[in-house]
Amino acid sequence: MLRIWLGCAVVIVGLVAAAIAVPRLAHRYPCDSVVPNAADMGLRLSDTEQVVSCEHHASFPDSSARLVVRTASPQTRTALLQRSSVSEELERTMISENDGPFYEEVRRPNLERSKQVYLSTTGDYQLSISYDDGIESGLLLTVWAMEM
């Protein structure tokens, strides 16, 4: 009887190990799924850009993907930003002075920092592309593609 229980325990442990290992082996390179998902959210890569790394962050209800992309030049970086339909991050604030009418004040944080951030929000997705001019001359971009 002990042999039967021991055999069942070995089978159960083997099944649990297989359930954990098989998906990891089948999807060892996260870029295989991350790049197409980011493309669905608006990222438009060309042959001139190189994907350096990818990460997928699964969570409920919002999942996200992070890619690091290297561009060849400032011109190809600008072209990528245009193709992906992202625009400069803006901070908008409604202000009223002396109980007067409200007006909108727009601040451009990119002018005040070395990290440049560009955003696009469409439906349930947000695409964020940022770079720092001090890191590889601004040619290394961080892309976040997020479900909201």
Q: Provide mean pLDDT across the span 69-85.
A: 95
Decide which of 61 and 43 is more confident: 43
DSSP, residue by residue, 51-112: EEEEEEE--SS--EEEEEEE-SSHHHHHHHHHHTT-EE--EEEEEESTT--EEEEEE-GGGG
Between 27 and 117, the higher pLDDT residue: 117
Q: Give residue-wise pLDDT tens across range 6-57.
A: 766 677 776 665 555 555 455 567 788 889 888 988 999 999 999 999 998 7
**C-beta separation of 131 from 142 below 8 A:** yes
141 touches 129 (CB < 8 A) = yes
Give the separation between CA 146 and CA 14, rounded to whole angstroms.
Answer: 36
Say what the pLDDT of residue 37 is: 87
Cβ contact 95:72 at 8 Å? no
Token readout for 29 is 């390179």
Give pLDDT, residue 117: 93
Residue 98: Cβ within 10 Å count: 4
Mean pLDDT across the stretch 74-78?
A: 95
Query: What is the model's pLDDT at position 51?
Result: 94
